[in-house]
Amino acid sequence: MAYQSADNILGVAPALTDVDTVQKWPTGMRIKGLDPALGYGEFVYAKGVASNIVGAFARIDEAGAATLTAAGTRGQIGVSLNANTSTTSFSWYQVYGLAVAKTLTVAADAPLFSTATPGSADDAVSATNKIDGAFTQTADGAGATTVNGVLVSQSGTISQASYTVPAGFALVNLVYPAMNGNG
């Protein structure tokens, strides 16, 4: 499953996993979304970044430009919902809720730190590289970590869903993550 927009803007629900070759929304715009297995999330609209992958950690600056995180990154952080590798295209980055994020070897319930591998995070303590507002819910997946959820629609329809975390990724709780030099 993938997050679906819970917001309609002028009658249009933004498609959160699409890459827009033409800017459709103001950069920095925030919307809400729902996923039957992962629950509630919030997302920000920004430009793509070279070498981006689904689940990559990226810094989003005030102008809406994204750069993959690395040691020494500072600023607002989001997790990419697609592999938008063009700096002239636009897409959504998750900043709140349960995200499937690119990690190295991590344990469950651990704080995350930026690494020398662009866009990846690890739970190994790294001075000044902590991603505040991001911690693991699961260990990195080997295709065996499954999350189950229930979603009740506005009409009262109940649906169940599960999500299996792929190898090299973990479920990460995001609460408006940022890097500011803490370690």
Query: pTM of the full predicted structure?
Result: 0.90
**pLDDT on residue 149:** 59
**Per-residue pLDDT reduced to its tens digit, 91-102:** 999 999 999 999
DSSP result, the chain: ---EE---BTTB---TT--BSS--S-TT-EEEEEETTTEEEEEEEEE--TT--TT-EEEE-TTS-EEE--TT--EEEEEESS----TTSEEEEEEEEEEEEEBSS--TT-EEEE-SSTT-EESS--TT-EEEEEEESSPPBSS-EEEEEEEE-TT--EEEEEEEEPBTEEEEEEEEEEESS--
pLDDT classification of 135: cutoffs 50, 70, 90: very high
**Per-residue pLDDT reduced to its tens digit, 29-67:** 999 998 888 889 999 999 999 999 999 999 999 999 999
1 pLDDT exceeds 90?
no
